[in-house]
């Protein structure tokens, strides 16, 4: 195996490389890849998790934005028959095309600066994903798993929970990385449902309702949603229009979105 060139973490890519072997083993045990499975790793960096995932014998595709990391990854893993690398932006990557009718398992230490839009992008491909294991800023994991009434509850968590079962697995301290980030990290598992527990007639309408509701989360629903649905229609669903956005559950937001769709027909 060749000695890979050295690489300095780049702030503009939000790079923080995981180097704690105990944490790496714990992540891979949580993912538990199997030989017959296909895995996509987003942002492999210098291959800290990549090596252990490859050792399972699974077919591993990795996508890396930083061109300077490609030679490092090629030097380490290029000779492995079950390894394939894609240089590009995960936000623009066609997950469905890669899956080609199969199911992918997705893992990644996601850059904090793109984690939210990237999760929304992946949720659009939920039909071809078995599960997702991500290292994220702990604040983002808290938002993904948040329940009604929580300060961290909002559009990201509701949409993640619409498509997936969300499990916060464990925290990862800053000293597990080089360079050390200024924030705490955590591992989350997202497992897409075969059928959403509260199916919306139109997911785009649900997104519109959530954006409007949480755009001014300190105001009541009758005020935040007045451009989308009137308070009488909200009340007709058995929902108090005087509540604040964080007080409603997923099922109630789906009911509002479905009512908006019905009223527009």
30-46 pLDDT per residue, tens: 999 999 999 999 999 88
Whether residue 14 has pLDDT greater than 60: no
pLDDT score recorded for residue 15: 54
Percent of the chain with pLDDT over 70: 94
Contact 247, 217 (CB under 8 A): no
Whether residue 51 has pLDDT greater than 50: yes
When pLDDT is cut at 50, 70 and 90, the band that residue 112 belongs to is confident
When pLDDT is cut at 50, 70 and 90, the band that residue 7 belongs to is very low
Give the residue with greater pLDDT, 68 vs 7. 68
- Is 35 known to sit in a ligand binding site? no
**Residue 40: enclosing H or E segment and its boundaries?**
strand 38-42
Contact 66, 13 (CB under 8 A): yes
- Is 156 known to sit in a ligand binding site? no
Mean pLDDT of the region 74-79: 96
Mean pLDDT of the region 88-106: 96
Structure tokens at 259: 């009512």
Mean pLDDT of the region 223-230: 95
Contact 137, 184 (CB under 8 A): yes
Whether residue 100 has pLDDT greater than 50: yes
- Is 51 known to sit in a ligand binding site? no
Instruction: Please report the sign of the dihedral spanned by the C-alpha atoms of residue 193, residue 196, residue 201, residue 205.
Output: negative
**Residue 42: enclosing H or E segment and its boundaries?**
strand 38-42
Give the residue with greater pLDDT, 136 vs 14. 136
- Is 18 known to sit in a ligand binding site? yes
Whether residue 83 has pLDDT greater than 50: yes
- Is 242 known to sit in a ligand binding site? no
When pLDDT is cut at 50, 70 and 90, the band that residue 265 belongs to is low
Q: Output the pTM of the full model.
A: 0.90
Q: What are phi and psi of 118, to 5 degrees?
A: -70, -40
Mean pLDDT of the region 220-238: 96
d(CA 22, CA 27): 9
Whether residue 191 has pLDDT greater than 70: yes
- Is 64 known to sit in a ligand binding site? yes
């Amino acid at each position: 195996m060749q000695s890979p060139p050295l690489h300095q973490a780049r702030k503009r890519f939000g790079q923080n490389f995981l180097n704690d072997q105990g944490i790496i083993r714990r992540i891979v045990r949580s993912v538990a890849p199997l030989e017959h499975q296909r895995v996509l790793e987003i942002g492999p960096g210098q291959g800290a998790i990549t090596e252990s995932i490859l050792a399972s014998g699974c077919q591993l595709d990795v996508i890396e934005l930083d061109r300077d990391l490609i030679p490092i990854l090629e030097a380490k893993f290029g000779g492995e028959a079950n390894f394939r690398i894609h240089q590009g932006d995960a936000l623009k990557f066609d997950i469905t095309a890669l899956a080609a009718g199969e199911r992918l398992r997705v893992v990644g230490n996601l850059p904090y600066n793109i984690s939210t839009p990237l999760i929304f992008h992946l949720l659009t491909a939920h039909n071809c994903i078995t599960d997702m294991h991500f290292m994220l800023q702990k604040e983002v994991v808290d938002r993904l798993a948040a329940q009604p009434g929580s300060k961290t509850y909002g559009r990201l968590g509701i949409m993640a929970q619409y498509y997936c079962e969300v499990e916060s697995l464990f925290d990862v301290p800053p000293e597990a990385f080089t360079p050390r980030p200024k924030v705490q990290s955590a591992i989350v598992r997202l497992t897409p449902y075969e059928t959403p527990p509260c199916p919306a007639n139109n997911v785009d309408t649900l997104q519109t309702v959530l954006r409007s509701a949480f755009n001014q989360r300190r105001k009541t629903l009758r005020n935040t949603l007045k451009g989308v649905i009137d308070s009488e229609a909200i009340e007709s669903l058995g929902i108090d229009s005087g509540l604040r956005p964080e007080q409603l559950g997923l099922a109630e937001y789906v009911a509002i979105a479905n009512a908006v769709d019905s009223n527009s027909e």
